[in-house]
Chains A and B, each alone.
Chain A
């Protein structure tokens, strides 16, 4: 009997490991290995040219160059402000929307699907669509703003350093909002209705019940979905690449753009990898702090 259970336990173990196999292989080989290589490349003078196969090690020179030119700090700052803008607005808007749509009428199902459409629109198409609407001379947004008297002259939203980042953020909000909405709605539906019932009987008003019942219950959902939004915003590439390409005057040059431009436009993989590595390090650090702060806050 003992032999059998031991054997069975061993098989269990092997079976468990085997099941992990495909995922570990694919993710390991095509995410972790490239990350590792990226880090190595960032310490090399790695300019792609025909017939070159060895690239000298140059230590921190790539990082130094990026730092001295100020490109890295600038890109961090742009990425960070973009992220902050997008995440805060998305959180507030989708909270309001999800509270409204949590009223549980089945006729809302179509409405909910309609809300999700913008999330289903491929990002490149989102970029084109909003560039088209933001267009200075025949864009619909300028037309409406002029008609409403909110502006006196049409604005080149994507060509102005003051408005370009915000305009891309609008497109990003448009695409990402439904995801947060979906997450919050799922969270709201998990709250037992009796809680509100009981609170109502105790004479708690709805603002209070939002702060004392809804928010605490949603804590985990908010934490997870905000983190996802933050990471998505940090990684955002197609919107910037198609809408502004990093301009005007580098006012939308995010870390993703800086990486891509150095690696695939200038074919300098060393610099590109250095940007990517600093960025990765920052994100890892950030999410550790984020998770710690929000975990501690709960007790």
Chain B
């Protein structure tokens, strides 16, 4: 009985003592507005520091408004934010990726930013970017950073393989030749080095990357008139290329972007496709690799011009937020040329506003910007309505079919059209 008693007493004590310990963080000050900001970048080693600074800078300049970060991982943020919104606890500001932005818009969870931010602000955003954000006559997300999918390569591995580190491939066909050379290398411990990484993990952003590849082969989801058109030779060529990469063992199977970043960081991946800010993760693992990183614009394939989706981090404001004005103020602050210049220093990305370009140092001559300065030509439009997020997942599914699944690309593309058509229409 003694044991039971001791255990019960300990349990009760813990129960009484704990709330007072854990409740410390909660403040209740009715004069200040607290803005809840759901973000994944606050959790990333590479950007954490900048985000803390952004908060303190803003709070200093705007007494009476406090920013409270709610960190969610990139892959869980959408679900968590929607769960919160449905429970009546919507975060005021939501960081969103371009690939799942429509889910918030279609459910009516976020507010039209064009009214909130004012004309002067909206007119400052480059029209081609604005057009990509538009939905049903409204703009529901403010572009924070944007980029196409680009190719990163390891100059040191290029040198070791006898390739010119200043001359990255221009087409997928050339990239395959380069990859053949790089794949012959071994790292210092004798491990395999992968030639060319293309993400195929079952997450929306990988779907965006696969779609960019389809664009680069002249394919895509729709024809010029916007009608669904997937089962065509260009898309089959794109997936055949992917199948060949896998067959030759050049591409790590089923990899998420972060898997590729890891491998790239430890020098076991020669080239791979990523968003421009992917380097933040690479540098977080291995800061010493910085001088060896090279970047080129998206490749063309099968004699077609390079193409890509527009990738973006957006800032959204909840329809249910009680502090929309304050939220707008914060967004204006975070996207001000001054703040953006700081953010841009961590890893370069394309600036979505004219005034930002004017102020940013080291922009139009930056080797990480130059290859994509004419990005507007590479960007292909992606349908905004319909169930885009699940379309992206289906794309990764097809990518897996032709690689690990061993399905014939022509058949895989035909099945893809069948599955995706109802989602797009």
Binding site for B on A (CB under 8 A): 48-51, 136-137, 153-154, 156, 158-161, 245-250, 264-267
Contact = CB atoms under 8 A, between A and B. Distances in A.
Interface string B242-283: 000000010011110001000100001000000000000000
* Closest A-B pairs by Cβ, 8 of them: A159-B254, A247-B202, A156-B253, A50-B108, A159-B253, A49-B107, A248-B400, A249-B400
A267 B87 CA distance: 13
Secondary structure at chain A's binding surface: helix, strand, loop or mixed? loop
Contacts of B401: 249
Contacts of A48: 82, 86, 107
Given A248-B400, A249-B400, 13 more contacts: A48-B86, A49-B107, A136-B253, A137-B191, A153-B249, A156-B253, A161-B404, A245-B202, A247-B396, A248-B404, A248-B405, A249-B405, A266-B390
Contact of A50 (B85, B202, B255, B400): B85
B181 interface: no
A248 B246 CA distance: 15
Contacts of B203: 245
A161 B263 contact: no
Interface of B: 78-79, 82-83, 85-86, 106-109, 191-192, 201-203, 249, 252-255, 259, 263, 268, 319-320, 390, 396-397, 400-401, 404-405
Given A48-B107, A247-B202, A266-B390, A156 B405 contact: no
Contacts of B397: 247, 249-250
Nearest to B78: A265
A256 to B, nearest CB: 15
Contact of A156 (B107, B252, B320, B390): B252
Contact of A160 (B85, B268, B390, B404): B404
B253 A160 contact: yes
Contact of B107 (A50, A158, A264): A50
Contact of B254 (A153, A156, A264): A156
Contacts of B254: 156, 158-160, 247-248
14 contacts: A49-B107, A50-B109, A50-B320, A136-B253, A137-B263, A154-B192, A159-B201, A159-B254, A159-B400, A247-B254, A248-B202, A248-B404, A248-B405, A265-B79
A64 B259 CA distance: 38
A108 B59 CA distance: 61
Given A156-B254, A156-B404, A245-B202, A50 B79 contact: no
Contacts of A264: 79, 82-83
Listed residue (A159, A161, A265, A267) with the most chain B CB atoms within 10 angstroms of its CB: A159
A267 B404 contact: no
A263 to B, nearest CB: 10
A63 to B, nearest CB: 18
Nearest to A156: B253
B74 to A, nearest CB: 13
A49 B202 contact: no
A31 B319 CA distance: 33
